[in-house]
Structure 1
Amino acid sequence: MRDRENYVVFLLDQNRYALYLTAVERVVHAVYVTPLAKAPDVVLGIVSLHGRIVPVFNVRRRFRLPEREASLGDRIIFAHTGRRLVALWVDTVTDVIECATCDVTHAGTILPAMDYVRGVIQLDDGLVLLHDLDAFLSLDEEESLDNALEANQSP
């Protein structure tokens, strides 16, 4: 087991979230997102990354944060879940940090049902919520997304 991990930190409003760096493929400036009919509400649409069609998730909606207009400073984080490559629309990416695994409090020890949060990273300047990408979509949403993507590929 590793005693230190690297994380990509991003913002939604003033809230800080993180993903394991090993899950992140790349971060890009926001681009036009093509709407995807019949996709779950949390899916903004799709984009192409080097020929791969990737669903773009509205992380604000998933965390029940207020919607806001897209900004030129917004970023898209391409990351791997256990099942697929996904894109997360975020306000900005602030940092890549390294911290000891002992500085991460697992979500289950705080509250048993912290949806979409794997843990909390304690830094000198505050807390960062460690995002659980594999729990981002429910099984029903996962199936709905698969059907929408399949329908999009049909001629």
Structure 2
Amino acid sequence: MTSLPTLAKGRSAAGKPLHLVGFRVGNEEYCFEILTVQEIIRIVPITAVPDAPEHVEGIINLRGRIVPIIDFRRRFRITGERTVDEADRVIVVTGTGNATVGFIVDGVSQVMKLPAEDLSPAPAGGAGCDAEAIRGVGNVGDRLVIVLDLDKMFSADELTTLTGVS
């Protein structure tokens, strides 16, 4: 049996269930570890930032803290246009070093527990250039969910540029 990766905050995945927040983008379901999710908010007015990367929608002021907002679809090159509707949300997440970003998603699905033995490694070479951001693929009922590793979604330089946190 392959050993599972170490989770953020130094906890071992072996034998312990993962506590995840699931969300939808297009037809797929993704998850962040629940401890990285600061909050989930409705879409609010977003201030555009000149010369920002294409996937950066802009910034918001979240109770005095400036948070960059990332369009998940554009960041991970998911095809299909995003249509704005009532289900859209911003998932505000905080990674290692207190770098906080928000992701625009099509909807939040559920909080779930995934037994560690139900997490399979991401398929090698099949997930494109951002494959390192995928911690693994989990079976939840009759569907597959993609478990993301927040700390590997951006390079250190990109995260510093986005958040000012190095």
State the TM bucket, normalised to the shorter chain.
Answer: 0.7 to 0.9
Counterparts of 1:124-143 in structure 2, within 5 Å, are 124-143=141-160
Asked if residue 32 in structure 1 is aligned to residue 45 in structure 2, the reply is yes
Deviations 1:92-133 (A, max 9, x none): 0010001211111122xx215624211111122210001121
Determine the structure 2 residue equivalent to 1:104: 119
Determine the structure 2 residue equivalent to 1:23: 36
TM-score when normalising by structure 2: 0.79
Determine the structure 2 residue equivalent to 1:76: 90
Deviations 1:17-75 (A, max 9, x none): 00000100111111111111122222110011111000011110122112323223210
Opposite residue 59 of structure 1, the aligned amino acid is F
Q: What is the SS of the residue equivalent to 1:54?
A: strand
Contact 2:71–2:103 (8 Å) recurs in 1: yes
> Which one of the candidate residues 79, 91, 101 is aligned to 2:106?
91
Q: What is the SS of the residue equivalent to 1:37?
A: coil
Residue 146 of structure 1, CA deviation: 5.1
Q: Which runs of 5+ in 2 are unaligned?
A: 1-11
Determine the structure 2 residue equivalent to 1:8: 21
When structure 1 is superposed on structure 2, of 18-27 and 35-44 the one drifting more is 35-44
Determine the structure 2 residue equivalent to 1:122: 139
Opposite residue 45 of structure 1, the aligned amino acid is G
User: Quick one: structure 1 residues 132 and 64, their matched pair in 2 at CA, closer, same or farther if it must change by over 3 Å?
Assistant: same
Determine the structure 2 residue equivalent to 1:48: 61
Q: RMSD value over aligned CA atoms?
A: 2.0
Q: Which runs of 5+ in 1 are unaligned?
A: 150-155
Contact 1:43–1:55 (8 Å) recurs in 2: yes
Contact 1:42–1:59 (8 Å) recurs in 2: yes
Q: How many residues align?
A: 146
